[in-house]
Structure 1
Amino acid sequence: MNQFINKKQLGVTLILIGLMMVLFLAQKGFNDRLKLVMLMDSNITNLKEYSIGTEGYSYSLPAEWTTNQKSYPGSYIVYHNSFRSESMGIIGYVEVMNSKDGLEHITISDGNKLPQNKVKEYKSLKTKINDKEGYRISYKLNLDEGKLVYDNVYYIKVDEEKYFKLLFSVGEEKYKENLLAVFDAIVETCKVNK
């Protein structure tokens, strides 16, 4: 009798484990489709991939956005590409930074450079982005003209001394809550192709 109960329990346990695996895989597919829907809801239908020189890094931006690559002296910013979406009111940039300082130190240092009397609702969230250590910093910035700008800055550690930094800035009149999902989807395109 005891052996019969153990076989029954084992069978039920295996069925439950199987169902949990199916749900986990279905959730992953659902999340990917949801991101695609969020992009399409924001009239983003095509992403253009950008490769970063010999670094082996890449990322994607909506093909409709205009971009402008810049070079900086020194070795701190090894790549910079500004972007703009007129229709969505988004401006920002993608950078690859070279630093021996840790990720947390970089985020704190950048935060200290902001004009403290103009920053509201500063939030720092430690996160994982594509299984890499990262931070998402969000805040509102009061400009001199009385305008309010929503900024979201993402930092991703990609190598021992290399970091992605992505800034998305949107004016108050164009800002919508679903833009965070669009920003997250773009940030998740950052890859190390080594």
Structure 2
Amino acid sequence: MNKKQIIVMSILVSLMIILGITQSFFKESFTQVVLVENGINEFKEYNFEDGKYTFSLPNEWEVSEKQSIGQYISYKADFKDKENKITGYLQVIDTQSDLGVFAENDLKNLPLTYTNEQITPFKFQNVSGVLSQYKTKVKKGYTFENICYYLNGDNGKTIKILFNIKEDYYKENIKTVLNTIVSKVKIK
């Protein structure tokens, strides 16, 4: 390489590093803007099973926790936003099933008729698992976008986080809110 090529190469590498740093800054800012746009300012942390698990939900949301529901479900927290446009729950389920197989079986056992189902692996920040998305319609005429995350817990446990969003409220940026909530699940 001659001197000119080395200079050009150094400039390109420097620009790539600057772009990488800038991108992470804008991604974090974008997430904050989406949260504020959806009325979320602060998160409240919940822990269960003697602090082994923690998760955070928007401070404005209503949450009701239930410990030891049965042998199959050891913990459940129902939640909803203040306008009742997003509802759902977090469950800790005792199962030895693979996440993908469990997600498929869970969908097949759904009592409601569903359409547009998709089951895919996901990974963001420090969390990975299986994502199940589908639509349901209830008798009162509401159609819901259902987004369900399945995470590996410890000792054969699966963490299931289901969000039901009224279709007329669903926007593509709502996934940023849901991903933020799911990324706050911690297993100690």
Question: What TM-score, normalized by structure 2, do the two folds share?
Answer: 0.87
For the 8 Å contact 1:129–1:156, the answer to whether it is kept is no
Deviation per CA, 1:86-133, whole angstroms, max 9, x where unpaired?
3251110112223211111111111111247x2111122211133443
Structure 2 portions without partners, runs of 5+: none
Residue 118 of structure 2 aligns with which residue? Answer: 123
Residues 54/22 of structure 1: CA separation in 2 closer, same or farther (3 Å cut) = farther
The one-letter amino acid paired with 1:73 is G
**4+ long deviations beyond 4 Å:** none
Distance 1:139 1:23 in 2: 36
8 Å contact 2:126–2:183 — kept in the other structure? no
Percent identical residues: 31
User: RMSD across aligned C-alpha pairs, in angstroms?
Assistant: 2.1
Of structures 1 and 2, the larger Rg is shown by 1
Alignment gaps of 5+ in structure 1: none
Checking the alignment, whether the CA contact within 8 Å between 2:80 and 2:88 is kept in structure 1 is: yes
1:110 alignment partner in structure 2 = 106
TM-score, normalized by length of structure 1? 0.85
Of Structure 1 and Structure 2, the greater helix share is in 1
Deviation at 1:21, TM superposition (A): 2.3
Kept in 2, the 8 Å contact 1:132–1:157? The answer is no
Of 133, 150, 175, which aligns to 1:180? 175
**Residue from 118, 131, 138 that aligns with 2:133:** 138
Question: Would the alpha carbon gap of residues 11 and 98 (structure 1) be closer, same or farther in structure 2, given more than 3 Å must change?
Answer: farther
**Aligned equivalent of 2:30:** 34
Within 1, Cα distance between the matches of 2:15 and 2:132? 37
